[in-house]
A and B are shown apart, each in its own frame.
Chain A
Amino acid sequence: MAKVLRSKEGWLFELCIDTFLILLFLVFLIPLWRVLMVSLTPTPDANDPTLGLFPPPWKWALISYKQFLSHPSFFKATYNSALILIGGVAVSLFLTVPLAYVLSIKDLPGRVFLSGLILVPFLFNPGLIPNYLTVTNLGLTDKLMAVFLPGAISVYNTYVMKSFFEGLPEELKESARIDGARELMILFRIILPLSKPILLTIGLFYGVHFWNDFFSPLLYLNRQDLQPLPILLRSILIASNLNEYVEYDAYSSASVESLKSASVLIAALPMILAYPLIQKYFTKGTLVGSIKG
């Protein structure tokens, strides 16, 4: 973009932008740093209960992480979450892409009707009970599919994708249509290759949603061995309401706050790492080549 002109021009603009970014950086960093520090300092310290922002490294301990990772359900939960993630993203993209593409066809007959069809249930989400009744009546209880199938088409994501497709040059589609290609072919041969950024972005959106969703598993998965990571996390974060009268040693070394922080960071880690990896594939100017060609 503006990189084309790397001159002194606009240095004030650059300065403002960079200062703004640095300030933002600090605003984000400080609380996050705090969570990390709490996760590394398990024992409530009488002399310095808040520990400030920089507890000295000799007070650090990995016990909270160890405790969470050695939880008996941890591996099974991660495995279940991974299955839900893969299944969810695959199914979601599989369903969303054709829908978004069809909606983006400019002179599609019945376009308004189709849009209405999509939008109505989006607005009128009747809530917990009717959805629950539907899913259980379809026999999906205790199947991992119950977690990702009902939410597989997000209207929000569909519309974003549709926007992207609409933004692609019309000439490409036109020339293919004139050559007699059917829409399905156009989608695969022409549109998809150009859609890496949006596919990855929307895939990431779905992925994060499914990775973090605890409500659907709570409702539809009863069996202990199907519980995914968010349920495990929640049981640790909100553990003590009914079990006040603790007679045992569960918190042998890690304090509650520290355990909570560590658990959250671990559960969030895969998603946090995903974005920079995908970022590599966002190549700019992909369109330039195809127009000329």
Chain B
Amino acid sequence: MLGIPLLQFFLFRYLPLWNAQIAFKDFNPVEGVFRSAWAGFIHFKTFFQSFYFAELIRNTLFYSFAKLLVGVPAAITLAVALAESHSKLLRKTVQTISYIPHFLSWVIMLGVLMMLLSPGNGLVNEAIKAAGGKPVAFLTTPSAFPLVVIFSDLWKELGWSAIIFMAALLGIDPVLYEAAAVEGANRLQRTRHITLPGIAPVVMVVVLLRLGTILDAGFHQIFVLYSTPVLGVADIIDTWVYRQGILDFQFSLATAVGLFKGVIGMILLILSSRLIRRLNGSALY
């Protein structure tokens, strides 16, 4: 039963890892992966010593953690609210409309955001002007840009991320609620003591997996939204690698950075799993 899935896994996950040795080589396509000359850790050094290294790490971690800390509780809140509401109409309409943004590409999102945030006549700035303030150029102001990134991502993914928590909510045994109600717990208490612990395992899995990919901060979004004035707060590892790769054919460098991201992710995953294990029993393995 394991055979076939593991075969696929081997082919498409482990073979590329073998190819990943080009991170330690001076890869030449004509020579191929195997025959290209060894180059040791030079590509890693290039990355660590590059001019913007510290800033890239800072931005990447900032966006990942921010999206995690904002996104997961928000998704849980939405899932619980939807489950708890008595209004069938409200539940269905909100749920359906909340995941439509997930299907919009970031190119369209840019248009939407400009409609809202343009300093010339964006809706938000119209409101600010009406209230007597000065319009803000959200997308090109370094202090505002990170907020735009985090909240536009939230808007786009909230409904979709909530799906998984709603599925988890369905798995909670109704009997537990009945018992609690009989004991006199009100709805808020029932939520706190039954619903939340009930979905805790799924929440943990989600958080752990996201920690493992913490250095993936959302390339497509940043790539579409960023512009020259905000590079200082917008540039993440992946956008930097993209520019190096596209302008400079730096295959080996890009692969090296990918491996680096993996190492960091693994360390984080192991550390946080240990932590969860100590608190809880079992984690991912």
Contact = CB atoms under 8 A, between A and B. Distances in A.
Nearest to A152: B8
Interface in A121-161: 121-131, 133-135, 138, 149-153, 155-156, 159-160
Contacts of A17: 81, 84-85
A209 to B, nearest CB: 11
Contacts of A260: 107-108, 111
A69 interface: no
A127 B11 CA distance: 15
Interface string A252-293: 000001001100100010011001100000101101100000
A50 B118 CA distance: 11
A1 interface: yes
Interface in B169-223: 169-174, 177-178, 181, 186-188, 190, 201-202, 205-206, 209, 212-213
A262 B131 CA distance: 34
Contacts of A287: 171, 173
Contact of A98 (B5, B181, B187): B5
Contacts of A10: 186-188
Contacts of B257: 127
Q: What secondary structure prevails in chain B residues at the interface with A?
A: helix
Interface residues of A, number: 97
A225 interface: no
Nearest to B20: A126
Contacts of B123: 53
Contacts of A6: 86
Q: Lowest 10 CB-CB distances: which A-B pairs, in order?
A: A126-B20, A124-B262, A130-B19, A121-B13, A127-B258, A115-B285, A268-B103, A10-B187, A130-B16, A150-B12
Given A28-B94, A124-B258, A238-B107, 5 more contacts: A10-B186, A28-B98, A127-B20, A197-B171, A272-B100
Interface of B: 1-2, 4-6, 8-9, 11-20, 22-23, 27, 33, 77-78, 81-87, 90-94, 96-105, 107-108, 111-112, 115-116, 121, 123, 155, 159, 163-164, 167-174, 177-178, 181, 186-188, 190, 201-202, 205-206, 209, 212-213, 245, 251, 254-255, 257-259, 262-263, 265-266, 269, 284-285
B255 A28 contact: no
A118 B102 CA distance: 28
Given A4-B174, A111-B285, A95 B121 contact: no
A219 interface: no
A124 B17 contact: yes
Interface stretch (A32-40, A73-81, A170-178): A32-40
Interface string A229-250: 0000100011000000000000
Nearest to B254: A127
17 contacts: A2-B181, A4-B174, A14-B187, A21-B91, A50-B121, A99-B2, A99-B6, A112-B285, A115-B284, A119-B269, A122-B13, A123-B269, A124-B258, A129-B251, A233-B105, A261-B111, A271-B103
Residue from B13, B20, B96, B209 having most chain A Cβ neighbours under 10 A = B13
Contacts of B1: 98, 101-102, 183-184, 187
B8 A124 contact: no
A201 B251 CA distance: 37
Contacts of A223: none
B265 A28 contact: no
A282 B167 contact: yes
Contacts of B190: 2
B19 A167 contact: no
B97 A29 contact: yes
A222 interface: no
A156 B209 CA distance: 7
Nearest to B238: A127
A198 B171 CA distance: 10
B101 A32 contact: yes
A90 B105 CA distance: 25
Nearest to A27: B155
Residue from B11, B15, B263, B266 having most chain A Cβ neighbours under 10 A = B15
A3 B284 contact: no
A164 B171 contact: yes
A41 interface: no
A286 B252 CA distance: 52
B177 A4 contact: yes
Contacts of A149: 8, 12
